[in-house]
């Protein structure tokens, strides 16, 4: 299987106005900047950084519809369709297919600490009922369930389970999955502090939250490491941008940071939705100091 999801896919922020309602013009403006000016390779609405868990069903569908309309097939749109119940994931995915997305990404049911058999049932049932390509999102830090390599290998037998966003930070997983599943499933970087290392391991796709505010830098790292295979230049560049990735990964405040960063760049998309809080003054100062070096 050839690599399908190569390059930098941005987990886009969901834009809100001053009343906390969805802001269509700000969302369109943000997407247009990422695609036209920053030359990202893909857009991912309703991911974790898109605050999908804090949106209503109607809002989630609206965000995806606006995203598809604004992107206009310039780059792939992979929509987050995660939910706790398997049937609900299928319903979202089928609706997104009707809207014209290019694929869906699904983090495990984020309440329940699922067993490996339950995880296999969840994703295999989705695969059987959804025609779209499915990206499995392994993030035990948010979902409470770790999809182990043998389970990934079982799921790779489904033709439409095409990729895995691997966010555990365990580099051994890349080798384990490759040994068990071969080229039946594509591993994507889901740990921003390991982007260069995962590129060096043969990973060619990165689903990145920091790309909301540093898309050009993320694309440049991909260009140097994957396309040009210029490791010395990639390493020097990585050292300059790594503090931003550290701040995102180590604080866990990726929504607040992305939105604060966009405000600092003069491209505001509103505040996080409660219960999420805006970045603290101290974190904003850290973020500004990093952005000022770019």
The per-residue pLDDT for 42 is 98
Model confidence at 187, pLDDT cuts 50, 70, 90, reads: very high
Distance of CA 117 to the CA centre of its chain: 25
pLDDT over 70 percentage in the chain: 99
Q: Is the pLDDT of residue 1 over 50?
A: no
Domains, the chain, ordered by start: 7-230 (3.20.20.70)
**Residue indicated by tokens 């550290």:** 246
Cα torsion for 129, 132, 137, 142, to the nearest 10°? -70
pLDDT confidence of 110, banded at 50, 70, 90? Answer: confident
Residue the block writes with tokens 């699922």: 114
- Residue 230, CA distances (Å) to 188, 203, 217, 243, 290 in order: 20, 15, 15, 21, 24
Q: Given a cut of 60, is residue 13 above it in pLDDT?
A: yes
Q: Which of 61, 165, 184, 259 is catalytic?
A: 165
Instruction: Report pLDDT digits (tens) over 139-149.
Output: 999 999 999 99
Give 250's pLDDT tier (boundaries 50, 70, 90): very high
Is the pLDDT at 2 greater than 70? The verdict is: no
Q: Which of 5, 96, 137, 254 is catalytic?
A: 137
219 or 113, which is more confident: 219
Where b means 16+ CB within 10 Å and e means fewer, 203-242 reads: bbbbbbbbbbbbbbbbbbbbbbbbeeeeeeebeebbeebb
Contacts of 211 (CB under 8 A, 6+ apart): 8, 9, 10, 11, 34, 38, 40, 218, 219
Q: 58 and 218 in contact (C-beta within 8 Å)?
A: no
Helix, strand or coil, per DSSP, at residue 161: strand
SS (H, E, C) 229-241: CCHHHHHHHHHHH
What pLDDT shows up at residue 3? 64
Tokens 């992979």 label which residue? 78
111 pLDDT tier (thresholds 50, 70, 90): confident
pTM of the model: 0.96
CA distance 47 to 65: 14
Q: What is the pLDDT of residue 148?
A: 98
Q: Catalytic annotation on 4?
A: no
Positive or negative, the CA dihedral 158, 163, 168, 171 is positive
3-state secondary structure of 137: strand
Residue 4 pLDDT > 90? no
- The tokens for 233 are 């230049």
Q: Among this protein's residues, is 238 annotated catalytic? A: no
Q: What is the mean pLDDT of the chain?
A: 96
Q: What is the DSSP letter of 22?
A: B
């Amino acid at each position: 299987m050839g690599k399908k999801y190569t390059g930098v896919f941005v987990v886009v922020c969901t834009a809100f106005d001053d009343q906390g309602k969805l802001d269509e013009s700000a969302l369109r403006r943000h997407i247009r900047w990422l695609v036209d000016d920053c030359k990202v390779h893909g857009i991912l609405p309703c991911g974790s950084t898109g605050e999908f868990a804090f949106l209503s069903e109607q809002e989630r569908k609206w965000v995806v519809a606006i995203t598809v309309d604004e992107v206009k097939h310039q780059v792939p749109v992979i929509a987050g369709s995660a939910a706790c119940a398997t049937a609900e994931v299928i319903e979202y995915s089928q609706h997104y297919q009707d809207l014209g997305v290019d694929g869906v990404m699904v983090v495990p049911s984020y309440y329940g600490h699922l067993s490996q058999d339950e995880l296999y049932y969840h994703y295999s049932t989705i695969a059987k009922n959804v025609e779209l390509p499915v990206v499995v999102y392994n993030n035990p830090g948010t979902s409470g369930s770790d999809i182990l390599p043998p389970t990934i290998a079982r799921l790779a037998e489904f033709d439409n389970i095409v990729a895995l966003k691997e966010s555990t930070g365990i580099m051994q997983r890349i080798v384990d999955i490759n040994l068990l599943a071969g080229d039946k499933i594509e591993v994507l970087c889901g740990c921003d502090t390991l982007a260069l290392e995962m590129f060096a391991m043969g990973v060619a796709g990165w689903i990145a939250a920091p790309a909301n505010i540093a898309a050009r830098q993320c694309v440049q790292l991909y260009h140097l490491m994957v396309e040009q295979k210029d490791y010395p230049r990639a390493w020097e560049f990585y050292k300059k941008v790594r503090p931003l990735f550290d701040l995102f990964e180590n604080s866990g405040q990726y929504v607040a940071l992305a939105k604060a960063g966009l405000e600092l760049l003069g491209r505001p998309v509103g505040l996080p939705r409660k219960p999420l809080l805006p970045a603290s003054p101290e974190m904003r100062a850290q973020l500004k100091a990093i952005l000022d070096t770019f």
